[in-house]
Amino acid sequence: MSKQATRLSPVQLALFRAVVEACASDARKAKYGLASLLVLNLPLSVSVAGGAGGAGGAGGAGGEGEAGGKAAAVKEGKLSASEKEATLRELVQHGWLLGEEEGDVAAGYRVGPRAFLELSAYLLECASDEVEPIWRKFV
């Protein structure tokens, strides 16, 4: 996600992390994805290491800890529905998420192949006990 992280803001990375963590919490969501409406309403938390803006968000999505052992401040991030939809389209386009479509509207989202390839350790770390065996098949 490092190259992608340069294109996404910390709040956009928080959206990706929220989708991954929601999928990781439940086997049904991991297999079949999250409904678009649910994704658009996920709360976003942006980790800011030592008060710095951009770098802390990239580490959070990749599962890396904050540099220097500093505690992260967490603040609520804001994206409009259209900004979330645009971010989700970009994440699908680059393979971080899979989008299920019904007509012109995305019906749901799952973790994509690029995430399994590049973030396998993070995905398995945040996966619940029932999701971990499912995701192990992909890493």
pLDDT score of 122: 94
pLDDT score of 89: 92
DSSP 7-30: TS-HHHHHHHHHHHHHHHT-HHHH
Categorise residue 51: left if φ over 0, alpha if ψ from -120 to 50, beta otherwise.
Answer: left
pLDDT of 68 over the 90 cut: no
Burial of 59 (0-12, 13-18, 19+ CB in 10 A): buried
**Mean pLDDT rounded to a whole number for the chain:** 78
pLDDT tier, 76 (very low <50, low <70, confident <90, very high otherwise)? low
Q: Over pLDDT 90: what percentage of the chain? A: 55
Domains of the chain: 2-130 (1.10.10.10)
**CB neighbour list of residue 36: distance below 8 Å, 6 or more residues apart:** 105, 106, 107, 108, 109
What is the residue type of 139?
Answer: V
